[in-house]
Structure 1
Amino acid sequence: MDSTTSTLFQSAHPEGLISIDPLELKFPLELKKQICCSFQLSNKSDKHVAFKVKTTNPKKYSVRPNNGIVLPRSQSNVTVTMQAQKEVPSDMQCNDKFLVQSVAAPVGATLKDITPEMFNKEAGNHVEECKLKVAYVSPPRPPSPVREESEEETSENTTAANELISALTKEKQSIIQENNRLQQELKLLKRGPRRNNGSGGLSIYYVVLIALLGILLGCYISS
Structure 2
Amino acid sequence: MSRSKQPQVLKIDPPQEIKFKGPFKDVVTSTLQLTNPSEKRVCFKVKTTAPRRYCVRPNSGFVESQATVNISVMLQPFDSDPNELLKHKFMVQTMFAPDAVDDMEALWKEASPADLMDSKLKCVFEQPEELVDIIIETPQTPTSTSDVMGTPQGGESGSELQSIMEECKRLQSENAKLKQVNEQLKGQPGSSGDGQDLLSQQKRMIIIFLLVAFVTGITLGYILS
Q: TM-score scaled by structure 2?
A: 0.55
The verdict on how the C-alpha distance between 1:79 and 1:118 changes in structure 2, with shifts beyond 3 A counting, is: farther
Equivalence for 2:65: 72
Task: Give yes or no for contact 2:182–2:195 (8 Å, CA) kept in 1.
Answer: no
Determine the structure 2 residue equivalent to 1:131: 120
* Partner residue of 2:77 out of 60, 68, 84: 84
Letter in 1 for 2:27: Q
In structure 1, the residue matched to 2:218 is none
Q: Deviations over 1:7-59 (max 9, x none)?
A: xxxx9xx8552111113111224455333222110111121001111112223
The residue type paired with residue 59 of structure 1 is: R
Note closer, same or farther for the CA distance 1:88–1:25 as it changes in structure 2 (3 Å cut): same
| Aligned AA (1:94) | L
In the alignment, residue 54 of structure 1 is paired with which amino acid? K
Residues 1:66 and 1:92: Cα distance change in structure 2 (over 3 Å): closer
- What per-residue deviation string (whole Å, max 9, x for no partner) do you get for residues 170-201 of structure 1? xx999766543322233x26xx8xx8xxx46x
Cα distance change on mapping 1:113 and 1:59 into 2, 3 Å: closer
What amino acid sits opposite 1:69 in the alignment?
A: F
> Alpha carbons of 1:42 and 1:61: their partners in 2 closer, same or farther (altered >3 Å)?
same
* 1:61-111, Cα deviation, whole Å (9 max, x unpaired): 22222211001111111122223312352x79622111111111134x458
Q: 1:155-170 counterparts in 2 under 5 A?
A: none
Identity %: 28
Equivalent residues of 1:17, 1:44 under 8 A apart = yes
Question: What is the DSSP-based 3-state SS (H/G/I as helix, E as strand, rest coil) of the residue aligned with 1:62?
Answer: strand
- Shift in alpha-carbon separation, 1:174–1:30, aligned structure 2, 3 A: closer
Residue of structure 1 in register with 2:52 after alignment: 59
User: Given residue 101 of structure 1, which amino acid in structure 2 is its aligned partner?
Assistant: Q
Q: SS in structure 2 opposite 1:184? A: helix
Question: Could you tell me which residue of structure 2 aligns to residue 94 of structure 1?
Answer: 86
SS, match of residue 180 in structure 2: helix
What residue in structure 2 maps to residue 19 of structure 1?
A: 11
Counterpart-to-counterpart distance in 2, 1:42 and 1:177: 84
1:97-155: per-residue Cα shift (whole Å, max 9, x none)? Answer: 11111111134x4584461246431xx42x2211111011114649xxxxxxxxxxxxx
**Whole-Å Cα distance in 1 between the matches of residues 79 and 98 of structure 2?**
45
Unaligned 5+ segments in structure 1 are 1-10, 143-171
Normalising by structure 1, we get a TM-score of 0.55
Q: Helix, strand or coil: the match of 1:116?
A: helix
- Whole-angstrom distance in 2 between the partners of 1:42 and 1:92: 31
Larger radius of gyration: 1
- How many residues matched? 170
